[in-house]
Chain A
């Protein structure tokens, strides 16, 4: 009988140990227990290094992992179903809470899908501001990733440094949107409101000091022999396996596949900026680390170019059926009052049809499938979240390695449980 994993008898304190057949029946062939000698260990849901409430069922032979099956769902929020009972603009608020490290990126994916369905476009200033804020969000997300995954490999200083930088970025978001993390700043047709005057000096100051900070983090980690021992040649995945298992984002680029949606299908104004896509060679933990750190420098380049080319103009589209009129017009124009009334009570209605919008979020390809049915509520919203698909590669990455390596690997694939469970 495989030791370790049991279930509680309902109503009692005793734990009934399960046999291999019962486990197989319960978890399917996803956890095909290899041998009766191995130990089954349940890692999580409450664990210091699983980056959220992830539960992994490990089959261990001593210290090395023979097989593992992820058990998720501890953060399932029913966001997709809940969005069907709200209007399109109200449902935007729920998209922040999925990938909570890069909330503006989720907003962007959803809002671009809504705009695609409606057939409206945001004005140029709104598009460039969206690029700037999305790239700053990418830097913020990578900072949290770097801090927590370095913490898993026992480099605590990097954690404190990264959160210090992140405070500066959260101040910028708060300045624009009023909220540090869950900004919900984008609207169908543009932005909620224009950025204040302090925005430009704050962003420029950030761009001035941040590149040296990246060098600081690298100085702590890049040549560190302990870090190299823990990350080089650990968790290797080949390019074919990565694509077959749907891995996208820095994990895929670390295996050498050059695919970045910002370059392949440029959205917003990404085709006007000059930036590189960092690639790796081996597909191990170290390459994923290097890809993400270099992506932060490339994001700084993009923000620099975007700030230099920021046009003047409105930030919300003129289409009054979609976007509310400014409050100053309400005193003068009857149509403005009617539009405002319709938008605030009913919300705009979308045509029938379905669209899929893909963007490059910090973790990979973020897609939003949206179906409208002529009413003001979306008929079906589905998010293709990168962490959910990247998690499927975890058994391939970790087979044969030790539990300590598993911790480093989970850190390197950069999963966020809010995004996985939705």
Chain B
């Protein structure tokens, strides 16, 4: 961002600006609808009424990568799906984050074989890993909270 280069570190002004922008980013982070397998059902449960994700700002899930901020890779990524995943990640506009939900996305999970990519971090850089097979909706919400904390801690030099 040009602000830091032009004005330098102006102390309290840039800090307030960072807080404001990060607050805006965390409180309306729209996930991209990337449910692949069983974890998608728990993601839908999280979106439904019992564990409401709207109270965290994730009101709706956008299927279009251009309109979403965070990609929750929910489910096992097979070798055929891997290039599709990468292409969708590239199509997302900055700032973007990735939550790897579930064991299969984090490390290959139960399936250690020819057909499953052993961890989605071989394809896209991941910010938060959520363990579980499938993780409970509360675990996923915990992962989202961790991501929010990470985003709130970002400084101006981390912005795109």
Contact = CB atoms under 8 A, between A and B. Distances in A.
Do any CB atoms of chain A lie under 8 A from CB atoms of chain B in the complex? yes
B41 interface: yes
Nearest to B81: A74
B125 to A, nearest CB: 19
A75 B36 contact: yes
B17 interface: no
A77 interface: yes
A166 interface: yes
A349 B50 CA distance: 45
Interface in A40-89: 45-48, 52-53, 73-79, 81-82
Given A144-B41, A163-B48, A77 B81 contact: no
Bin chain A's interface residue count: 35 or more
Given A45-B81, A46-B63, A73-B78, A101 B41 contact: yes
Contacts of B45: 163, 166-167, 170
Given A78-B116, A100-B41, A101-B41, A167 B50 contact: yes
Contacts of B114: 78, 81
A418 B84 CA distance: 17
Contacts of A182: 38, 133-134
A85 to B, nearest CB: 9
A380 interface: no
A52 B38 CA distance: 10
Contacts of B63: 46-48
B38 A418 contact: yes
* Majority secondary structure, B binding face: loop
B153 to A, nearest CB: 31
Given A77-B115, A181-B41, A52 B36 contact: yes
A144 B44 CA distance: 10
B34 A160 contact: no
Contacts of B116: 77-78
Contacts of B147: none
Contact of B111 (A78, A101, A160): A78
B96 interface: no
B108 to A, nearest CB: 11
Nearest to B48: A163
B134 A74 contact: no
Contact of A181 (B38, B50, B84): B38
A148 B35 CA distance: 13
B33 A48 contact: yes
B49 interface: yes
A41 to B, nearest CB: 16
Contacts of A77: 76, 78, 111, 113, 115-116
Contacts of B78: 73-77, 421
B25 interface: no
A3 interface: no
B36 to A, nearest CB: 6
Interface in A85-106: 93-94, 96-97, 100-101
Interface string B33-77: 111111011101100111000000000000100000000000110
Interface string A186-208: 00000000000000000000000
B148 interface: no
B136 interface: yes
B111 A82 contact: yes
A417 B74 CA distance: 14
Nearest to B78: A76
Contacts of B111: 77-79, 82, 94
A159 interface: yes
Contacts of B49: 160, 163-164
Contacts of A232: none
B10 interface: no
A181 B102 CA distance: 13
Contacts of B36: 52-53, 74-75
Contacts of B79: 76
Nearest to B87: A8
A207 B112 CA distance: 41
B48 A160 contact: yes
B37 A97 contact: yes
A216 to B, nearest CB: 14
Contact of A97 (B42, B84, B110): B110
A163 B50 contact: yes
Contacts of B141: none
Contacts of A52: 35-37, 40
A96 B134 CA distance: 11
B88 interface: yes
Contacts of A418: 37-38
Contacts of A163: 44-45, 48-50
Interface of B: 33-38, 40-42, 44-45, 48-50, 63, 75-76, 78-81, 84, 88, 110-116, 133-134, 136
9 contacts: A45-B84, A52-B35, A76-B78, A82-B112, A97-B110, A164-B49, A167-B45, A417-B37, A418-B37
Interface of A: 45-48, 52-53, 73-79, 81-82, 93-94, 96-97, 100-101, 144, 148, 159-160, 163-164, 166-167, 170, 180-182, 417-418, 421
